[in-house]
Amino acid sequence: TNFLKSKMKFCNFMFQNHIELNITAFYLHFGFQFKDFTIAFHILFLLI
């Protein structure tokens, strides 16, 4: 289906831009909630 194809393209895009998107998304979603960014980045690297 077209949905499956677009999902595959999106997954490939996510994989190719894994580090950048993880950092950006993590910062946007969680970064502002952390006062200690050291803890935030430890959690981030666990997710990568």
The alpha carbon of residue 37 and the mean position of all alpha carbons in its chain are separated, in whole angstroms, by 16
| Token pair recorded at residue 21 | 């998107």
CA dist 18 and 16 (Å) reads 6
Residue pLDDT tens, the chain, 48 long: 677 777 777 766 656 666 676 777 777 666 555 556 677 677 777 775
This prediction's pTM: 0.27
The alpha carbon of residue 48 and the mean position of all alpha carbons in its chain are separated, in whole angstroms, by 8
Q: What is the pLDDT of residue 16?
A: 64
- The count of domains in the chain is 1
Domain range for 19:
2-47
Q: What is the pLDDT of residue 5?
A: 79
